[in-house]
A and B are shown apart, each in its own frame.
Chain A
Amino acid sequence: MTEQRTVDIHVPVLARVEGEGALELAVRDGTIEKLMLRIYEPPRLFEQFLVGREYHEVPDMVARICGICPVAYQMSAVHAIEQAFGMDIDPWVRDMRRLYYCGEWLESHALHIHMLAVPDFLGYPSVTAMAQDYPAEVRRGLRLQGLGNAIVAALGARSVHPVGARVGGFSRAPTAAEARSLLDRVREALPDAEELVRWTASLELPASDQDFTTVALRHSDEYPMNEGRIVSSAGLDIDIREFDDHFREHQVPHSTALHSRLHDRPYLVGPLARLNLNLDRLPPQVQDLLEDTGLSWPSRNMFHSVVARAVEIHYGCIEAIRLLERYQTPTAPRLEATPRAGVGYGCTEAPRGILWHRYEFDEHGTVVDSRIIPPTSQNQARIEQDLKWTLEAGNLDDDDQELRRLCETVIRNYDPCISCATHFLDLRISRR
């Protein structure tokens, strides 16, 4: 009979994720006794910073929550504010908000694929080490990330913490020449995006077949970004205003981020959830390339998230081309807002999954109450569930170094943004 080890592992700082977190794992007689994803980054209290501020200050303030997905924060906020004020945005603004989101998906996904996730799958400690053997692939990633940044900057004035988004539209419309130049760059990048899908699909990813619930937005006729109903693989189909009727946030002692559950169960948000639930909303070019990969969709292998991110980069390029080909300079880049008392909800698809906002305003447009539920706090319980499944699938006898590597790979695969959730890895393994 094989002796079952007792293990205590503590990963004190999780590398290659955004923010500060840790993992504590205790194994007794071959059984996981404790598994906690500890998020110890101090609470940032952004929701309370917003109370008492004017509505027009909100988009710039929430952009500061995250250096990687500021567009998502701005978009969830402006849609919530516009709903509260009863505003209907015009088609130009709607198009440009999708283009703005394409930029963020390209920038964030290209960073995660090349800098954070793929080094794990190819066995390198960092992207710098990987670049020695895969220079062309890393250069391709940098080009795609740079393109994403350029799209964000075209509408947001800068790529990090952009300032161009406004309630009702944007501060400034790109000129026709700027739009043409951007269109040329996206067209040039399309072969890179196609090759990236093929490359990620060819990676030898760990086998994994898990049963999990996926949650994403779903729109009547397009791949979701700024609009849609919240749907799940378990049959949920609700208006974003009904979020609180089905999702519950609760505090856990080991984390400064709230955990969120759907009908008291963990769930997945993000690229894999979005793709699994919206395959039929992809344009034919993207569907054809996805079929060519030979992978089966929808997928229950969490590691296919890296392929899903590449698919969304490809989609982002095709959507950006579509939007830029019909670009026309508007008479005004935004509608003026008329504040009124009320409550508004916004839910958009951040690179890491749905980002839900709720604001209450007084008659002057001052924030009376705000709630922000970021994707990483929604994924935390799911990450712990995945870690448990992965470790119990026959990996508990691995040595501590291998266990730590495996746990970090699982966690990084979710591209957690701890600074957003703060509400990340310090692994403590205890074996007895």
Chain B
Amino acid sequence: MTLHVVGIGSDTGDDQVGWLVANRLGKRRRDVQTFSCRAPMELLGRLPLGAPLLIVDAVRSNRHPPGTVHQLQWPATNRLAAWGQPFTSHGLGLADALSLADQLRLLPSPTLVWGIEIPEPVASPDLSASVLAGVEALLQAVDRDFPTQTP
């Protein structure tokens, strides 16, 4: 079984958390295929992908401490919306991209969305310590929920 992991974000600050998780999973597991994109709508151009599909993105809900790991299984539009307003162009966020992909029957099952709560964005190239701790927790959770299968 191949695990498909998509990191959403950018290359700076805490917004890079989705890319970092995808990158680390790709390096530590041979059964993982990854790609990274900057905007959720970019994901649509890469679908369909096999299952399971894991999507990792930064979250700013302001209701949980930085580093908190969120997880939901699609469809869960309401819960995704509760994570906060999307920080993306044209207001087309991850929930919109996944809803459209679902409507077009492009989403595999299961599709899981993992988010890591980030603090108020600051001008820095680096991840904050709390978010790095969240990355570690998320990597362990992926290994626990999707253990590498030996032939």
Question: Once bound together, how far apart are the Cα atoms of A15 and B92, in whole Å?
Answer: 10
A115, B103: Cβ atoms closer than 8 Å: no
Q: Which 6 pairs from chain A and chain B are nearest by CB?
A: A146-B45, A160-B38, A67-B89, A131-B103, A128-B99, A128-B100
Asked if A116 is at the interface (CB within 8 A of a chain B CB), the reply is: yes
Interface range, A side? 20 to 34
Asked if A135 is at the interface (CB within 8 A of a chain B CB), the reply is: yes
Q: Which of A67, A135, A142, A159 contacts B44 (CB 8 A)?
A: A142
Q: Which residues from B are CB-within-8-Å of A139?
A: 104
Question: Once bound together, how far apart are the Cα atoms of A158 and B37, in whole Å?
Answer: 9
Report the minimum CB–CB distance from A423 to chain B (whole Å).
16
B41, A111: Cβ atoms closer than 8 Å: yes
Asked if B32 is at the interface (CB within 8 A of a chain A CB), the reply is: no
B91, A419: Cβ atoms closer than 8 Å: no
Asked if B90 is at the interface (CB within 8 A of a chain A CB), the reply is: yes
Q: Could you pull out 6 A-B pairs where Cβ atoms are within 8 angstroms?
A: A67-B39, A68-B89, A111-B41, A128-B103, A145-B45, A160-B42
Question: Once bound together, how far apart are the Cα atoms of A419 and B92, in whole Å?
Answer: 14
Asked if A307 is at the interface (CB within 8 A of a chain B CB), the reply is: no
> Knowing A16-B91, A116-B90 touch, does A138 contact B104 (C-beta < 8 A)?
yes
> Among residues 121 to 138 in chain A, which have CB atoms less than 8 Å away from a CB atom of chain B?
126-128, 131-132, 135, 138
Report the minimum CB–CB distance from B36 to chain A (whole Å).
10
Q: Which residues from A are CB-within-8-Å of B103?
A: 128, 131-132, 135
Question: Interface 1/0s, chain B 112-145, versus A by CB < 8 A?
Answer: 0000000000000000000000000000000000
Report the minimum CB–CB distance from A132 to chain B (whole Å).
6
B38, A18: Cβ atoms closer than 8 Å: no
Question: Interface 1/0s, chain B 90-107, versus A by CB < 8 A?
Answer: 111000100110011100
> Knowing A67-B39, A128-B99 touch, does A17 contact B44 (C-beta < 8 A)?
no
Question: Interface 1/0s, chain A 141-180, versus B by CB < 8 A?
Answer: 0100110010000000011110000000000000000000
> Knowing A128-B100, A131-B104 touch, does A149 contact B91 (C-beta < 8 A)?
no
Q: Which residues from A are CB-within-8-Å of B92?
A: 115
Report the minimum CB–CB distance from A44 to chain B (whole Å).
14
Majority SS at the chain B contact face: helix
Q: Which of B38, B90, B104 has the most CB of A within 10 A?
A: B90
Residue on A nearest B44 in the bound complex, by CB: A142
Residue on A nearest B100 in the bound complex, by CB: A128
Question: Interface 1/0s, chain B 30-69, versus A by CB < 8 A?
Answer: 0000000111011011000000000000000000000000
Q: Which residues from A are CB-within-8-Å of B96?
A: 126, 128
Q: Which residues from B are CB-within-8-Å of A128?
A: 96, 99-100, 103
Inter-chain pairs besides A128-B99, A138-B104, A145-B45, 7 sampled, C-beta below 8 Å: A17-B90, A115-B41, A135-B105, A149-B45, A159-B38, A160-B42, A419-B89
Question: Once bound together, how far apart are the Cα atoms of A158 and B19, in whole Å?
Answer: 15
> Among residues 1 to 21 in chain A, which have CB atoms less than 8 Å away from a CB atom of chain B?
15-18
Question: Once bound together, how far apart are the Cα atoms of A8 and B64, in whole Å?
Answer: 40
Question: Once bound together, how far apart are the Cα atoms of A160 and B19, in whole Å?
Answer: 15
Question: Once bound together, how far apart are the Cα atoms of A355 and B70, in whole Å?
Answer: 42
Q: Which of B42, B90, B104 contacts A68 (CB 8 A)?
A: B90
Report the minimum CB–CB distance from A362 to chain B (whole Å).
27
Q: Which residues from B are CB-within-8-Å of A67?
A: 38-39, 89
Question: Once bound together, how far apart are the Cα atoms of A205 and B148, in whole Å?
Answer: 55
Q: Which residues from B are CB-within-8-Å of A131?
A: 100, 103-104
Question: Once bound together, how far apart are the Cα atoms of A398 and B74, in whole Å?
Answer: 40
A158, B89: Cβ atoms closer than 8 Å: no
> Knowing A18-B90, A67-B89 touch, does A159 contact B42 (C-beta < 8 A)?
yes
Question: Once bound together, how far apart are the Cα atoms of A145 and B37, in whole Å?
Answer: 15
Residue on B nearest A138 in the bound complex, by CB: B104
Q: Which of A67, A135, A142, A146 has the most CB of B within 10 A?
A: A142
B90, A16: Cβ atoms closer than 8 Å: yes
Question: Once bound together, how far apart are the Cα atoms of A138 and B45, in whole Å?
Answer: 12
A149, B44: Cβ atoms closer than 8 Å: no
> Knowing A149-B42, A149-B45 touch, does A138 contact B91 (C-beta < 8 A)?
no
Report the minimum CB–CB distance from A398 to chain B (whole Å).
25
Question: Once bound together, how far apart are the Cα atoms of A349 and B75, in whole Å?
Answer: 41
> Among residues 226 to 275 in chain A, which have CB atoms less than 8 Å away from a CB atom of chain B?
none
Question: Once bound together, how far apart are the Cα atoms of A139 and B39, in whole Å?
Answer: 18
Report the minimum CB–CB distance from A210 to chain B (whole Å).
26
Q: Which residues from A are CB-within-8-Å of B91?
A: 15-16
Question: Once bound together, how far apart are the Cα atoms of A111 and B96, in whole Å?
Answer: 13
Report the minimum CB–CB distance from A114 to chain B (whole Å).
10
Residue on A nearest B99 in the bound complex, by CB: A128
Q: Which residues from B are CB-within-8-Å of A138?
A: 100, 104
Question: Once bound together, how far apart are the Cα atoms of A198 and B89, in whole Å?
Answer: 28
Question: Once bound together, how far apart are the Cα atoms of A115 and B100, in whole Å?
Answer: 10
